[in-house]
Amino acid sequence: MANNVSETTTDTHFATLAMGLQAPMPIGARSRWQRVLALPAYHWLLIAEVIVIAPHAAHLPLWLIGFALISIAAQLPAIKRAVRRYGPLKRWYQGVQMFGFLLGLLGLWLTYQTAFGLDMGVAFLVLCLVSKLWELYQRRDAYVVLNLSLFVVAALFLMNQGLLTTIQAVAGVLTVLFAFIALNDDGNAIGDGRLRSLGILTLAALPLLVVLFLFFPRLPPLWSVNLSGQQAKTGVSDSMSPGDFANLSQSTELAFRAEFTGERPAQNQLYWRGLVFNDFDGVTWRPHPNDTMWRSGESAPLWLQQAVGSVPEAEQRSLEQYRIILEPTQQNWLFALDYPLPSDGSAALTSNFTLRNREPVTQQRRYDVLRAQSMRIDTELSERDERINVTLPSSGNPQAHALAKRLFAEAGSDPVRYVQALERIIYQGNFRYTLSPPPLGDNRIDDFLFNTQAGFCEHYASSFAFMMRAVGIPARVVAGYQGGRLSRGGGVWEVRQLDAHAWVEVWFAGQGWVRVDPTAFVAPERVESGMDAVTESQGAAMFGDGAGAQISYQQYQMLQALRRFSDQASYYWQKDIVGYDQDKQENALLKWFNIRSMTEQLLWLMGSVLIVATLIVLSIWYRRRQKWHPADRPLVQLSKQLAKQQPTLARQDSEGQLAWLARLATSTELQQHAEALMTTAQHYRQLRYGRLSEKDIKDADYQAALKQLRVDVQAVYKQSI
């Protein structure tokens, strides 16, 4: 009867707020924290919806996020009270409730142009949750909303499995669970015990979580899905013109990590190849669409046979393998050191010796690469490829053309001496390396070489490649990253957007494509020590002049430190948690538990779950067991023993200990033991209510009286047998 009354009271309290009526607020809570914990379940449900939907704002359309915020705000009791009072508002409210979901479906169709797809499915799930809020009036509606919220939280992992996403999901789940607790404890005016209940639920789930993580079989996915409608995030785009990388180089965002099993290459050899630009229109470099593709396992084309044939046989037998962990780029290209060979069919190798993925990289991508350092590529250049890599616009940059012809003639038309002459001009001139280069005019090459003489890697790479082509030497620009930095733990090489770089490949007869990095002519420390060393050595001067440059440099240093720490934590999360795949699980289980088959794995799983569940049940039972005062425990045992002989002799739940002993003394069955029972009652009264009750339980007098009470109780029982 009491439970029914309590449940009815809770239903009434929730419905009162849900319908916008006035309801009493908690008055027993003292501190601000207690007042927050004591909020009614209705308020906690709305808080939970904000925390659940907020992380989806990164990938949902803005109109859906706006509709979600309006829907949550419209459920506030103050808004509902206003709606109930004014007729026009009430009709508007009902209209949104009726047509909001249908208009939302139309909006999803117009946004995604499809009824299928992962992002479409997640958006539809959020729309269902938001629309259900307009029907929030009874406790059963709240249960539906909170259960649907858990599915919306789980949908976060369809988009990303990073550490930040996990933290957001945990926050959402805990808030939803707290709302569940408040929903079943809405009459609690001070919120006492709610946080404890949440802690018990969470701690009880952790052992099961660990067991399932370790033992549940890592089965391959039955299908895969792709994300759509996301914009590129990578720092290397499919085109390059002076100025692109200057802005990017101030970003400390992680691009990818590299794990080497053997000796790591030297800093100045860390050229992470991404794209090759062959076409130049006077302003922008772009790839030429002439690449052919090869995947591991297919018959090798001629261009690959020639390149691999140039590698010494001893090196072919000991190609260095390493692993790249690439962050999402929303693009198809991958990054690897010069010159890469894919170790499996997951990545394709182009005829320009760059790597391509089948689909845009929408989630963190792991791939293994083989590296051949002595490879020579395109030792024989076809007429078509030569024409592509010497073509320049028919007009523009006359000063650069004139300088190129003069230097080439002075070098005796020797390509090597010509390259050395250009190096001397850059090294001995007034050229400088800066992250804040001046703007360039229409003739960008002339403007850079003869006027500003200040720029970043793409300025030097673009100008150098132009000067090569101006005298008929094939040249192309390669975009990617150069250098990097060891992680805090020292075992992983981290490459960031600030390491974005561009260099040049020049074709020499008999040698093929040879890397030349003109940035090293003016800033050799950029190649030898990495971008971090350049920034640290030049300080605020790298970011321009004045107070603004100093502020930018300080912000850069602070953000760099924070990002490195967060990226390190994210790396271990991805490597050890998300990356705990089938191979790692098999190795770990074999090493730790000597599990050699799927049957043994499933037996361990079921046994561990059973053990953990048993421990949880025993823990709950132990916490909820009835606890007795030391003086009550002997009497409780006496009651149980007497009940076995005569049930009427047992103490009733509503009966006090002294009243029960008095009843036993006057009972027919124990009348002859009345004196012993009264003595027992006297000792009990002293321990519980007399002078001994004020003493510590470990006191000698207290222990002596307690021992005597036990003797009295035992004597009564023996005499009654």
Structure tokens at 316: 């072919």
Number of other residues whose CB lies within 10 A of the CB of residue 372: 21
Q: Which residues contact 556 (CB under 8 A, 6 or more apart)?
A: 250, 252, 535, 543
Give the SS3 label for residue 279: strand
Q: What whole-number distance in Å separates Cα of residue 485 and Cα of residue 492?
A: 8
Q: Closest by alpha carbon to 469, among 479, 461, 458, 481?
A: 461
Q: Closest by alpha carbon to 232, among 250, 244, 246?
A: 244
Catalytic pick among 338, 378, 385, 517: 517
Q: Closest by alpha carbon to 11, among 141, 134, 133?
A: 141
Catalytic pick among 13, 459, 501, 683: 501
Q: Is 517 a catalytic residue?
A: yes
Give the full edge-to-edge strand order of the sheet including 355-357.
293-295, 347-350, 355-357, 333-334
Structure tokens at 430: 């007034």
Q: Which residues contact 158 (CB under 8 A, 6 or more apart)?
A: 118, 122, 225
Cis peptide before 556 (omega within 30 of 0): no
Instruction: Tell me the HSE value of 282 on the side-chain side, using a 13 A CA sphere.
Output: 11
Instruction: Tell me the HSE value of 369 on the side-chain side, using a 13 A CA sphere.
Output: 32
Contact indicator for 637, 713 with CB cutoff of 8 Å: yes
Q: Closest by alpha carbon to 708, among 685, 719, 601, 338?
A: 685
Buried b (16+ CB within 10 A) or exposed e, 567-578: bbebbebbbeeb
Contact indicator for 349, 293 with CB cutoff of 8 Å: yes
Q: Which residues contact 617 (CB under 8 A, 6 or more apart)?
A: none
In this structure, what DSSP letter does residue 240 have? B
**Amino acid identity of 409?**
A
Contact indicator for 469, 495 with CB cutoff of 8 Å: no
Residue 4 burial by CB count (10 A; 0-12/13-18/19+): exposed, middle or buried?
A: exposed
Q: What whole-number distance in Å separates Cα of residue 3 and Cα of residue 377?
A: 81
Q: What whole-number distance in Å separates Cα of residue 429 and Cα of residue 452?
A: 12
Q: Is 56 a catalytic residue?
A: no
DSSP 525-586: HHHHT-HHHHHHHHGGGGG-SSHHHHHHHHHHHHHHHHHHHHHHHHHHIIIIIIT--HHHHH
Number of other residues whose CB lies within 10 A of the CB of residue 175: 22
Give the SS3 label for residue 345: coil
Structure tokens at 552: 């930018």
- CA R_g for the chain: 38
Instruction: Tell me the HSE value of 220 on the side-chain side, using a 13 A CA sphere.
Output: 3
Catalytic pick among 13, 378, 401, 457: 457
Q: What whole-number distance in Å separates Cα of residue 99 and Cα of residue 105?
A: 10
**Catalytic site positions:** 457, 501, 517
